[in-house]
Amino acid sequence: MSNVGTDPGREAFKVEASELLTELETSLLELEEAPDDEDLIGRVFRAMHTIKGSGAMFGFDDVAAFTHDVETVFDEVRNGKITVTKTLIDLTLSARDHIRALIDSAETGESVDEAKAGKITEGLRKLLPSSAEHTETPVKEVDSSQKTEERAVTYRVRFKPNKELFANGTNPIPLLNELRMLGECEIIAHVHNIPLLNELESEGCYTYWDIILTTDKGENAINDVFIFVDDDCEITIQVIDTGDALDDERDYKKLGEILIERGDVSKEELQKILAGKKRLGDMVVDAGLVKPDEVQAALVEQRHVRKVREKSQTKEPASSIRVPSEKLDTLVNLVGELVTVQARLSQVAIDKDDPEVILISEEVERLTSELRDDTMSIRMLPIGTTFSKFKRLVRDLSNELGREVILFTEGGETELDKTVIEKLNDPLVHIIRNSIDHGIESPAERTGKGKPREGKIHLSAEHSGANVLIRIKDDGKGISTEAVKAKAIKNGLITPDTELPDKEIYGLIFAPGFSTAEKVTSVSGRGVGMDVVKKNIDALRGSVEIESSEGNGTAITLKLPLTLAIIDGLLVKIKDDNFVISLSSVEECIELTQADIDRAHGRHMVNVRGELVPYIRLREWFEIDGKEPEIAQIVITEHNGRRTGFVVDYVVGEYQTVIKSLGSIYKDVEGLSGATILGDGTVALILDIQKMTQYVEKEELESFQ
């Protein structure tokens, strides 16, 4: 191999090659299912061709030489002279792995298996025909980088509330702000119906609005904004521009056409005054046909559509740049520091009670919030790229174990923080390997049970509030509660007379070394490695839940936070100490009186609308002395379907929390997951709700024994 430099060109090739190899693997697995798909064949050929050309350009001569043989074979496939077979797919996947090894060896200096490379090359050359056996078939190549975008449509929305809107407790401003979030928006308020002050009813709504909105979200998104006020308002939505105007159609309807279309003036009335020499807007106002704000609304609409058309027809192609992840991490850290400083500025502004300082503070808070959201969105990546990796895992493992398994993925567009995605790979590998090894039966066994020969694994992702739910579901034989319980008794985890619900029995498989497999193989049985899954998901502040039906399959759900850097929290106090609870876990806050404590007869339980909820007294947990308030507060949280309360002295309110690690000295402190700095410079500790809830569950479990 040629000497490896560290110039930017070579580094750029490594990044590009990594992406191409990922796309190559995905395309090959799809091609195996659809061997006649010319688009997939073209994608494989182009990936190989690009890797070969770029490799030769930047000094990766061994990569270029090896890739040449694979490219030659797929050129013949494109020409219809070689058919796609399982042998070809196997060899090409092995070639893809070898190319990866060659590129990695440039950085690590480790040698690669040249004998394996020789076998791959020999196998590929055997597939080449000695002469053309088929008629050459032209292949229509499609640029896979081109993606269809939803076309933006311009709507005219008239939002005319009933006079009683305010009396019903509705504020129209948030609705208008929500429309602004859907796209490019202009809002015109019609105020000509507002009466004189002595006739004004303080709770009456006399204003209505025209909204000109250009969005690609569709009409349903607009209707959703008004879903709760639909009965109290007159809502009309009209499409006024579909975004498909030709280059010479930048102009829009004339003012008179818009006024007639809106119903503000009739065609006959307009024609009577068109003989005048004034501007049309002035004439219709002077004639008393329309109000000035209605003319203004029509002019705004006219200007808006013209601007949108000009913008769409002169729009430059979108571009993107590559940024090292270290720079992105640094940016996120700096934004986190800025959020902390902004909180301190807000606190100082409130203490000084200076209107000018408060105004500046509020503006900084708005800008900081926008910067935080934009920075977090940059870190968000679709999880589909991670999902695609597991198709290869399922294929190889199925062949190794003699199973027939199909992997279905759903929700690949769901976005998650890149840090979470990077740490999610190992847990998903463990779960999928266990599903195939111990969950999916052999083809003969499935046929005997009346099931299809091919087992199915569904891998899906979806947003749920401030979290993402990742579900791995198989249609295998499920988990035997009796087998799990027997193993738990053998390992001394529970006693023979312990009675547990199924959910808690499934939880036992997370114990270290727990396995129901009858024999140890190269692939672990369900349970082996599940303690690793639990540990990794806990480190991500997530949770794992198992559902199973014996004979019908198992579903494992991972609940993960969207980001690990900044969270919305609930700030609480115990004496002079501050604590933060993740707001996504909080259900409600209730009072705890002495009467409630007496009714529980010494047990840490509280009745919440007929349901007994266990609670933890944080004063006792953290051994905080001092006088307790007469009426304490209980913050009710939910985790894995279980509700747990946390008793605090006071609930301060919502607080945007920048998470800081506690350091090696405090890393093993029970019940804490990090810390944050408040606006006044003091430190607040972030509670580990998951660990503390598990502590309560463990106490309940021990009480059964």
Q: Give the residue carrying structure tokens 């980001």.
A: 563
Q: Give the residue carrying structure tokens 């300082």.
A: 357
* pLDDT > 70: percent of the chain: 82
Predicted pLDDT of residue 282? 63
Tokens at residue 576, please?
A: 């002079």
* Sequence letter at residue 53: G
Please say if the pLDDT value at position 437 is more than 50. Answer: yes
What is the gyration radius of the CA atoms in the chain, in angstroms? 33
Distance CA 118, CA 248 (A): 61
Using DSSP, state whether 58 is helix, strand or coil: coil
CATH of 8-127, one of 3.40.50.1360, 1.10.1740.10, 1.20.120.160, 1.10.10.10: 1.20.120.160
Please say if the pLDDT value at position 696 is more than 90. Answer: no
What is the rounded average pLDDT for all residues in the chain?
79
**Mean pLDDT to the nearest integer, 656-669:** 72
Using DSSP, state whether 238 is helix, strand or coil: strand
Q: Which residue, 322, 376, 284, is CA-closest to 568?
A: 376
What crossing angle do the helices spanning 61-78 and 86-108 adopt, rounded to 10°? 160
Predicted pLDDT of residue 141? 38
Residues contacting 78, CB < 8 A, separation 6+: 38, 41, 42, 45, 139
**Mean pLDDT to the nearest integer, 526-547:** 77
Distance CA 286, CA 610 (A): 68
Predicted pLDDT of residue 253? 64
Using DSSP, state whether 301 is helix, strand or coil: helix
Sign of the CA dihedral with 411 first, then 417, 422, and 427 last? negative
Q: Is-same-fold flag (8-127; 566-704)?
A: no
Helix segments in 8-85, DSSP class H: 8-33, 38-57, 61-78
**Cα–Cα distances in angstroms (integers) from residue 327 to residues 333, 378, 421, 422, 591, in the given order:** 10, 12, 18, 17, 46
Q: Can you give 138-156 as a three-state secondary structure string? A: CCCCCCCCCCCCCCCEEEE
- The per-residue pLDDT for range 342-357, each reduced to its tens digit, is 888 888 888 888 888 8
**Mean pLDDT to the nearest integer, 151-156:** 84
More confident: 655 or 408: 408
Distance CA 262, CA 351 (A): 52
- The per-residue pLDDT for range 232-267, each reduced to its tens digit, is 888 888 888 876 554 444 455 666 666 677 666 676
Stretch among 282-286, 298-302, 563-567 having the lowest mean pLDDT: 282-286
- The per-residue pLDDT for range 110-146, each reduced to its tens digit, is 778 888 888 888 888 888 876 433 333 333 333 433 3
**Mean pLDDT to the nearest integer, 597-602:** 81
Contact present, 282 and 290 (Cβ < 8 Å):
no
Long-range contacts for 359-366 (Cβ within 8 Å, ≥24 apart)?
none
Distance CA 29, CA 86 (A): 10
Q: Which residue, 68, 67, 71, 87, is CA-closest to 79?
A: 71
What crossing angle do the helices spanning 61-78 and 38-57 adopt, rounded to 10°? 160
More confident: 101 or 661: 101
Using DSSP, state whether 466 is helix, strand or coil: coil
The CATH homologous superfamily to which domain 383-561 belongs is Histidine kinase-like ATPase, C-terminal domain (3.30.565.10)
- DSSP, residue by residue, 601-641: TTSSEEEETTEEEEEEEHHHHTT--SPPPSSEEEEEEEETT
- The per-residue pLDDT for range 178-198, each reduced to its tens digit, is 888 888 888 888 888 888 888
Tokens at residue 219, please?
A: 């009409």
Q: Give the residue carrying structure tokens 């739910």.
A: 469
Distance CA 436, CA 438 (A): 6
Q: Where are the domains of the chain?
A: 8-127, 153-313, 325-378, 383-561, 566-704
**Residue 471 β-bridge partners:** 460, 557
Q: What is the CATH number of domain 566-704?
A: 2.40.50.180
Sign of the CA dihedral with 639 first, then 643, 648, and 650 last? positive
Distance CA 457, CA 440 (A): 9
Stretch among 303-312, 335-344, 629-638, 676-685 having the lowest mean pLDDT: 303-312
**Cα–Cα distances in angstroms (integers) from residue 56 to residues 1, 49, 63, 155, 509, in the given order:** 12, 11, 8, 53, 51
First to last CA, the chain: 65
Residues contacting 560, CB < 8 A, separation 6+: 416, 420, 424, 467, 468, 469, 470, 537, 540, 541, 542
Tokens at residue 181, please?
A: 């979030």
Tokens at residue 704, please?
A: 């059964």
Helix (H) / strand (E) element for 363: namely: helix 355-379
- The per-residue pLDDT for range 3-38, each reduced to its tens digit, is 444 566 677 778 888 888 888 888 888 888 888 888
Please say if the pLDDT value at position 537 is more than 70. Answer: yes
**Residue 602 β-bridge partners:** none
Task: Give the distance from CA 554 to its chain's centroid.
Answer: 24
Q: Can you give 218-230 as a three-state secondary structure string? A: CHHHHHHHCCCCH
Predicted pLDDT of residue 148? 36
Task: Give the distance from CA 141 to its chain's centroid.
Answer: 32
- Burial class of residue 317 (count of CB atoms within 10 Å of its CB; 0-12, 13-18, 19+): exposed
Using DSSP, state whether 578 is helix, strand or coil: strand
Entry field: residues in the chain: 705
